Chains A and B, each alone.
Chain A
């Protein structure tokens, strides 16, 4: 079983606590001149995205988490199940709506997504930072209004709802930032 000793602690290592994978997002070394060295760590749960503070003393170790990132293709959605395929092994993975989280809003067939595996099981999936989606429905826009600060709701091809400028029309293609969920611009075919 691989472990990380305190001397190997640094931002970015992936460790396992109570059977769940964590990313070390901060590690602060504290030591009185003649006293016990401490490592104050901030750890992010890679499944639930919660953050945890843990203090270790020199010589302690934490189990390493078997976490890897693979490139997958989104194949299709079947009810609450989202099916992806590993681009190199062609193995298929089924993720629940919970596991896919916000990503479902952007998933289109054959889209390339980064998937995180923990002990070989998928725990999260991320679409590309920018995706292009077709607007399926919105209220008609006020003609000639090109201001981007006046927004209205719309529904896109994946079934998700998002906010777009008033000039966007049904059938338009829009580019969206998947990290913030924000509209970026209207694009041509």
Chain B
């Protein structure tokens, strides 16, 4: 045995065997959890011609060898999936009822103590669910995986009122900006005055989220309609998105929707997300995809949720850096 040297030891994993065993145990627990409830485990492509169009998600583009793939209708470039959402909904429109998978997702530029550009998602869909049963199922899984009491449920509006005495659904951009400037030592100078959602994100992630889920996890629901992403909008006054998120120990763990079913609305949202992307100096993403066809054929009413598995491992292992819960994080991959 020689002396340890950084160069010679550069092949070693960032996570301990203890953490890797904990990870493997969680995989087993998740499969048992969904098997017991009659879910079918599915697999969907990581490389797809389609990609989710979100203002703040940047997919990796993979060039294809056109000479070889033209014959198989593979001449268009492929996107590494930022989540398996589109393909899983195609399965639902084709007769899937309760499906889940544990898969990799890829997001460009996301690297930090809570982010790795390649990470592991647990994603599931169940036809027939509504907000309450969808949140209920997420709560049951959280209790099993985190060994915690059942999550408390609060609306987006309630947490803003409680922590900031501010109504996030009615406050205008100027009020949100004032709230951010009085509470934070620094706000990005490039934030546009009219970027309501930008100010809401800043307030949520800087002023509220660190205090969420300290004693027990919390599910936040009824997001502003402008942040619906792929969720239905509920025609309340003001309207809210049928979207929910799970937080524990200040960490964002899961995101779920009562899924949007209307293809026309999805087309509009994709266009509007692309308009923001162009405004933000980013590239527009494809506006056509096979999910639109699936929705036109008929996507049944369902709830879908994605859970970030690496962060669950972090909480279980007591690690504060995501690098320490994966064998080979991005910088040593």
Contacts and interface: CB of A to CB of B under 8 A. Distances in A.
Interface of A: 7, 28-38, 53-60
B34 interface: no
A31 B115 contact: yes
B112 A30 contact: yes
Q: Is the interface of B mostly helix, strand, loop or mixed?
A: loop
Given A59-B190, A59-B280, A59-B281, A29 B205 contact: no
B56 A36 contact: yes
Contacts of A38: 188, 202, 205-206
A102 B187 CA distance: 35
B252 A32 contact: yes
B190 A57 contact: yes
B204 interface: yes
A142 B180 CA distance: 63
B227 A34 contact: yes
B186 interface: yes
B74 interface: no
B255 A33 contact: yes
Given A34-B54, A34-B229, A58 B201 contact: no
A29 B189 CA distance: 17
Given A35-B197, A36-B201, A38-B202, A55 B56 contact: no
Interface of B: 54, 56-57, 109-115, 184-191, 197-198, 201-202, 204-206, 209, 227, 229, 245, 252, 255, 280-282, 308
Given A32-B209, A33-B255, 10 more contacts: A28-B113, A29-B110, A30-B205, A30-B206, A34-B56, A34-B227, A35-B204, A36-B56, A58-B109, A60-B190
A37 B280 CA distance: 12
B255 A55 contact: no
Contacts of B206: 30, 38, 55
Given A30-B205, A34-B54, A57 B186 contact: no
A56 B115 contact: no
A29 B111 contact: yes
A33 B305 CA distance: 13
B165 to A, nearest CB: 21
Contacts of B245: 33
Contact of A55 (B184, B197, B227): B184
Nearest to A27: B112
A29 B186 CA distance: 15
A53 B188 CA distance: 11
Nearest to B306: A33
Contacts of A60: 188-190
A57 B113 contact: no
27 contacts: A7-B109, A29-B110, A30-B206, A31-B56, A31-B115, A32-B201, A32-B252, A33-B255, A34-B54, A34-B56, A34-B229, A34-B255, A35-B197, A35-B205, A35-B227, A36-B56, A38-B202, A55-B187, A55-B206, A56-B188, A56-B190, A57-B188, A57-B190, A57-B198, A59-B190, A59-B280, A60-B190
A4 to B, nearest CB: 14
A31 B188 contact: no
A58 B54 CA distance: 15
A128 to B, nearest CB: 27
Given A34-B56, A34-B227, A34-B229, A29 B201 contact: no
B121 to A, nearest CB: 10
A172 B129 CA distance: 85
A35 B109 contact: no
Given A34-B227, A54-B186, A29 B282 contact: no
B201 A35 contact: yes
B232 to A, nearest CB: 15
B198 A36 contact: yes
Pairs A-B, 5 closest by C-beta atoms = A29-B112, A35-B201, A57-B188, A36-B201, A55-B186
A32 B187 CA distance: 16
A29 B190 contact: no
B160 to A, nearest CB: 14
Contact of A35 (B56, B112, B187, B189): B56
B205 A28 contact: no
A60 B112 CA distance: 17
Nearest to A33: B255
A37 B54 contact: no
Contacts of B57: 34
Nearest to A58: B109
Contacts of B229: 34
A178 B206 CA distance: 40
A34 B190 CA distance: 19
